[in-house]
Amino acid sequence: MYVKPNFKTKKALREALEQGDTVTVFRPAPIGPDIQCGVVDVEGPWAPEHHTWYADVEVKDGRIIRIVE
């Protein structure tokens, strides 16, 4: 699972969530549908530097609401 927008660091993801920015999760096709609710593992960035950070996040209504510590 990846996040959108494509953050280069987990710190950037955390800062965006603290500011109230909209952050969503997605699975690259054809793996399956995007997650709408629950706790999921995400990784980033997805390009051009691949998978330098990982996090568990809570998703509600298709949006990440927090990083699970």
* Owning domain of residue 46: 2-68
Give the model confidence (pLDDT) of 36-67 as tens digits.
899 999 999 988 888 999 999 999 999 999 99
Prediction pTM value: 0.88
Structural domain count, the chain = 1
Return the residue matching tokens 């699972």.
1
Cβ-count burial of 17 within 10 angstroms (0-12 exposed, 13-18 middle, 19+ buried)?
middle
Tell me what pLDDT residue 36 has: 86
Q: Indicate the DSSP class of residue 45.
A: -
